[in-house]
Amino acid sequence: MESNYNKIIYDYVKNVSLQHSAPLHKYADLYQVNSILFALMNYKAEKASQAKPMLYKVKDQEAAKDFQKFNGFAKDTYETKLLKKAKEKGVEEIYLDDITVTSPYYRTKRLLTKPNEMQSFGEFIYSLSAFYDISGFNLINTQKVDGQVAALYSLPTHQITIEGGSPQDPVKAYQYDGLFTQKFDPKDCHALRSFSTNYNKMGSHLYGTSKVQVCYADLQTYIAALEREHSAFKTGDSAHLLFPKNADAQIEASNDNTLLQKMRDGIRSALWKKDEHRAALVAQELGHINLANPIGESITLEVKKDIREILAAVFMLPPEVVFNESSSSTYNNGKENGRRALHLGVFPFLNKQEEILSEEIIRPQTGLKFCFDKTIYDELALDKVEEMAKMKDIDFLTRREKRQWFDYGDVSEGDSFEDAIEPVTPLNFDYGNS
């Protein structure tokens, strides 16, 4: 069935190379030389790469939904127990370590441990995150053996051009334009695109929106601030009042041109060439008063701080976490910022990537579902001491019930902590109608 929407939006893409409106090569180069951009992208990609792959079968749809809801988002012991119960009732995990060479899932296990000959699974996820931020989209290319996916490749999307097809099939091919040219069939490619409003006759919206493009103007301002600081460091940029120290004691002017030239050369070597005009030779001894650091220095520091916060907001990451700005933060604030970084800056990307890996690649091949186990992060570990302190004054629970809540052993005699520390079966939480 022909879509009128597709005809309007994609009628111009027929058999033409669709151009990206942004210079992606420049953004990729900036990642390698700008410490602020690298810190933001590396934090997100590094954290994303730490998530553990998980295969499972769905046993109960409602319980499985709750498992996904609390996976990485359980904020206290109660929700942690709900997550555990939902996982037990809703899904059957297929442990990768239990999959042997003879298993029908062995090839899928290889995809989730060594997706290609050059990358581990963590490195593969890292590259998908980095290319997504640089280019606005990432692209997984699948290589098949006997009709089954045997390898996954993260294509360098800053070097990928989309070849237009027809209104009903807008992408005819993905073309790599690097040291050589190679076309990839879109049937073997799986794209994750960010949203773009750039609907033009070049089909630029099919590339998504680059986060580096969004940040670019602010990055240039940050670079200018660094250059201002560098110049000040090299030239001793500060405000001084100069005056004749002894107006009557003139220094005898030298007729030795060689000496004057040496003095000029000394000034040139001490300063950047563009700052030569900032120095002059005078035939008189001068005194000076240091008035203070120039106002530009404090403005520069404020500008840098503001821009770090702006860029962190674009990546949805707390600047305190990425840039280690912990001078005024407490332990609890630091841990909360770590959680926020995962929940706002990392997990949304993982959730979208998880859907593509699960529904477009793994499930059609095995019938299994795929997800990232997001409970493994230290930032999400519960502070039991803090929770115990909160429960201390709850008088409608006995000490035995409180100990059982935290999976400590029952107290048979003496009612002391040392009497029993072995974990016992936790309280039973009935799930649904069971």
Whether residues 178 and 137 fall in one domain? yes
Residue 323 lies in a domain: no
Element (H, E) at 160: strand 160-166
Q: Find all residues with CB under 8 Å of 103, minimum gap 6, and list them.
A: 109
Q: State the pairing for strand pair 52-58/369-373.
A: antiparallel
Each residue's pLDDT tens digit, 31-45: 999 999 999 999 999
Instruction: Report the percentage of the chain scoring pLDDT > 70.
Output: 71
Whether residues 40 and 68 fall in one domain? yes
Write 355-361 long-range contacts (CB < 8 A, 24+): 356/140, 356/190, 356/192, 357/140, 360/190, 361/111, 361/140, 361/142, 361/149, 361/152, 361/190
Instruction: Give the pLDDT of residue 421.
Output: 44
Neighbours of 88 (CB within 10 A): 16
Whether residues 205 and 249 fall in one domain? no
Whether residues 123 and 258 fall in one domain? no
Instruction: Give the pLDDT of residue 282.
Output: 64
Arithmetic mean of pLDDT, 115-142: 97
Residue 317 lies in a domain: no
Average pLDDT, the chain: 82
How many domains would you assign to the chain? Answer: 3
Arithmetic mean of pLDDT, 200-218: 89
Residue 223 lies in a domain: no
**Domain limits for position 264:** 239-292
Arithmetic mean of pLDDT, 228-233: 70
Residue 310 lies in a domain: no
Whether residues 250 and 373 fall in one domain? no
Strand-pair partners of 283 = none
CB 351 within 8 A of CB 69: no
**250 pLDDT above the threshold of 70:** no
Residue 318 lies in a domain: no
CA distances from 3 to 11, 13, 166, 169 (A): 11, 15, 12, 11
Whether residues 76 and 151 fall in one domain? yes
Residue 142 lies in a domain: yes
Arithmetic mean of pLDDT, 407-428: 52
Arithmetic mean of pLDDT, 297-302: 75
**313 pLDDT above the threshold of 90:** yes
Measured in degrees and rounded to the nearest 5, phi and psi for residue 106 equal: -65, -40
Write 428-432 long-range contacts (CB < 8 A, 24+): 429/81, 429/82, 429/85, 431/63, 431/85, 431/86, 431/89, 432/62, 432/63, 432/89
How far is residue 69's CA from residue 73's CA, in Å, rounded to a whole number?
A: 7
Whether residues 265 and 399 fall in one domain? no
In this structure, what is the dihedral angle of CA atoms 233, 235, 238, 239, given to the nearest 10 degrees?
A: -170
Q: What confidence tier does 135 reach under pLDDT thresholds 50, 70, 90?
A: very high
Q: What is the pTM of this model?
A: 0.77
Arithmetic mean of pLDDT, 225-251: 65
Whether residues 31 and 162 fall in one domain? yes
Residue 27 lies in a domain: yes
Residue 325 lies in a domain: no
**247 pLDDT above the threshold of 60:** no
Whether residues 139 and 203 fall in one domain? yes
Whether residues 50 and 167 fall in one domain? yes
Burial class from Cβ neighbours inside 10 Å (0-12, 13-18, 19+) for residue 131 reads buried
Each residue's pLDDT tens digit, 322-365: 988 665 556 667 888 999 999 999 999 999 999 999 999 999 99
Whether residues 158 and 87 fall in one domain? yes
Instruction: Give the pLDDT of residue 274.
Output: 55
Task: Say which range, 11-20, 155-164, 247-256, 401-410, has the weakest mean pLDDT.
Answer: 247-256
Whether residues 35 and 135 fall in one domain? yes
Task: Say which range, 115-129, 192-206, 383-397, has the weakest mean pLDDT.
Answer: 383-397
The candidate with the shortest Cα–Cα distance to 372, out of 396, 350, 352, is 350
